[in-house]
Structure 1
Amino acid sequence: METVDIATIGFTKTTASGFFERVKKAGITKVIDVRLHNTSQLAGFAKAEDLAYFLRAICAADYVHLPLLAPTDDILKAYKRDKGDWTVYETSFMQLMENRKIEHRLKPEMFRGACLLCSEDKPHHCHRRLVCEYLNLKWGGALKVKHL
């Protein structure tokens, strides 16, 4: 099976110029927003409508919101608000992806030239990394992942 290059990125702890330069330099053609909520005023330049415009104007990239790849409110609140344990979050989110059968609803080609976006600045404790790991497990390593 041919591998597909995919990137991931977070928007916190960076400037707009730093964010968009990384996207542009990586040659991203589509940003897939995997946040459950993408309209918060706290998101700054990464608020959905603004982000779609900036990506088009600055990077010539498309914007897609794909909440299928986001955790549920319950999973998010248990980890963020209630300061839950990462391993519990990880297990819950992996089970959610299994239940949703995302590997059957998506195809590797859909991720060609794409970048998964969420808020976390690093991928270590972020669900965008888990999405890639889960899909690679199910698809036999079809995704070649780079964290921007």
Structure 2
Amino acid sequence: MKVFTIGFTKTSAESFFSRLQKAGVNKVLDVRLNNVSQLAGFAKKDDLRYFLRAIGGIDYAHEPKLAPTQEMLDAYKKDGGDWSDYERRFLALMAERRIEETVPRSALEGACLLCSEDKPKHCHRRLVIEYLMQKWGNLEVQHL
């Protein structure tokens, strides 16, 4: 199964939507806790849903089960927390939520996990994919 990830900061709307179309993404799975972010005007949930459909015929869904808690996010982002601590806590949260059982594989087929971080290295979307690869196996991942 092929899965994609993408971030929307430090990019233009043109580059963002072009990368999704070129990759053949059929659905954007928004894994942000707060999907009404003002970080990029085109990435607010209702606007994003419209743009994805109008520009690329791409579906949109929000999946908060794949997002960190507000407490985790604040400890890392606002309080300057350590990435390894955030990673450990988020992996434990996914295990506690049993996302491998509660999020259907079909929800990720041809989907692109969306978060704000421009690169996947320090983004929870990468952790979601790596966790699911361990649980499900055979995921082909492309970071756009």
Instruction: Report the more deviating stretch, 108-117 or 71-80.
Output: 108-117
Indicate the residue corresponding to 1:146 in structure 2. Answer: 142
2: distance between equivalents of 1:57 and 1:28? 14
1:64-75, aligned counterparts within 5 Å?
Answer: 64-75=61-72
Partner in structure 1 of residue 43 of structure 2: 46
Distance 1:50 1:89 in 2: 30
Alignment of 1:1-148 (within 5 A): 4-139=1-136, 141-148=137-144
- Per the TM alignment, residue 43 of structure 1 is displaced from its structure 2 partner at its CA by 3.3
Q: Is the 8 A contact 1:20 1:55 kept in 2?
A: yes
Q: Which amino acid aligns with 2:141?
A: V
Structure 2 gaps of 5+ residues are: none
Please tell me whether the aligned partners of residues 30 and 114 of structure 1 are also in contact (alpha carbons under 8 angstroms).
yes
Separation in structure 1 between the aligned mates of residue 37 and residue 128 of structure 2, nearest angstrom: 22
Three-state SS of the structure 2 residue aligned to 1:12 is coil
> Which structure 1 residue ranges, 4+ long, deviate > 6 Å from structure 2?
none
Q: Take 1:123 and 1:16, find their aligned partners in 2: how far apart are those partners?
A: 19
Q: TM-score, normalised by structure 1?
A: 0.95
Counterpart amino acid of 2:59? Answer: D
Unaligned runs of 5+ in 1: none
Tell me how far apart the structure 2 counterparts of residues 39 and 30 of structure 1 sit (CA, whole Å). Answer: 18
Tell me how far apart the structure 2 counterparts of residues 51 and 34 of structure 1 sit (CA, whole Å).
Answer: 13
Structure 1 residue identity aligned to 2:107: M
Determine what percentage of the aligned residue pairs are the same residue: 62
CA distance change for structure 1 residues 137 and 46 in 2, over 3 Å: closer, same or farther? Answer: same
Give RMSD over aligned pairs: 0.8
2: CA distance, partners of 1:91 / 1:119: 20
Conserved? CA contact 1:6–1:145, under 8 Å? yes
